[in-house]
Amino acid sequence: MQKEIHEQPESLRITMRGRLICGGSCKAKSVMLGGIKDHLKTVRCSRRVVFIGCGASYKAALAARPILEELSGIPVTMEIASDLLDRQGPIYREDTAVFVSESGETADTLQALEYALENGALCVGITNTVGSAITRNTHCGVHINAGAETGVNY
C-alpha cells in the first residue's frame, strides 16, 4: 500500500491527462469526462447522487463528496454496498448511482448495481479496470487510469 501512496501524484496526473480543458492562460477551465458526457443532462436533473462502494473505494468517494456537492449543487449521499443491500435502501429512478470499485468486480458493489438498475437509477461506474463487470453493466462511467492495485492480497 505504501507503494500506491507514493504513486498518488503521478496517478493523478495520468488520470487527468486529456481531461482538462485549458483556457487562454493555460489554467484548467473545465474537466471533460468523455465516458459520461452523453448522460450529463440526466445527472444534472438528478434528485441526488448516491455513491456506492466498499472499503477504500467508499472512503475515496467520501473524500470527494464535499467538492462534488459544492460544484454540482446536487445532494450527494454515501452507501456501503453491503449495507444498502441488507436494508434494501431507497434508490429511485430520479437518482444517479455512482459505483466506485478499483477492480470493477467487487461482489457487494455488483449486487448493489443490479439493485439500482432494477430501481431505474442512472448507473455510473468509476473503476480502474477496463472491461470489468461494473464497466460493462453501468450506463456510463469513468476509467481512472491509476494502474493495478497492489494493496489487496488474493
> Can you tell me the distance from the alpha carbon of 104 to that of 133, in angstroms, rounded to the nearest whole number?
6
44 pLDDT more than 80: yes
* Predicted pLDDT at 74: 94
Distance, first Cα to last Cα, the chain: 14
* Predicted pLDDT at 113: 97
Residues 15 and 25 in one domain: yes
Is residue 64 one of the residues assigned to a domain?
yes
Residues 28 and 39 in one domain: no
Q: How confident is the model at residue 26 (pLDDT cuts 50, 70, 90)?
A: low
Residues 5 and 65 in one domain: no
Residues 51 and 71 in one domain: yes
Q: Residue 134 class from Cβ within 10 Å (0-12 exposed, 13-18 middle, 19+ buried)?
A: buried
> What pTM value is reported for the model?
0.81
Residues 60 and 7 in one domain: no
Residues 119 and 134 in one domain: yes
Residues 7 and 54 in one domain: no
Is residue 149 one of the residues assigned to a domain?
no
Q: What is the mean pLDDT of residues 39-47?
A: 89
* Predicted pLDDT at 75: 96
Residues 25 and 57 in one domain: no
User: Which residue, among 48, 115, 121, 47, has the nearest Cα to 81 in the 3D structure?
Assistant: 115
> Can you tell me the distance from the alpha carbon of 84 to that of 67, in angstroms, rounded to the nearest whole number?
23
The string of pLDDT tens digits covering residues 117-126 is 999 999 999 9
Q: Which domain covers residue 7, as residue numbers?
A: 1-32
Maximal CA-CA distance, the chain: 51
Residues 87 and 23 in one domain: no
Cβ neighbour number for residue 53 with a 10 Å cutoff: 25
Is residue 148 one of the residues assigned to a domain?
no
Question: How is residue 105 written as a grid cell?
Answer: 468486480
Overall domain count for the chain:
2
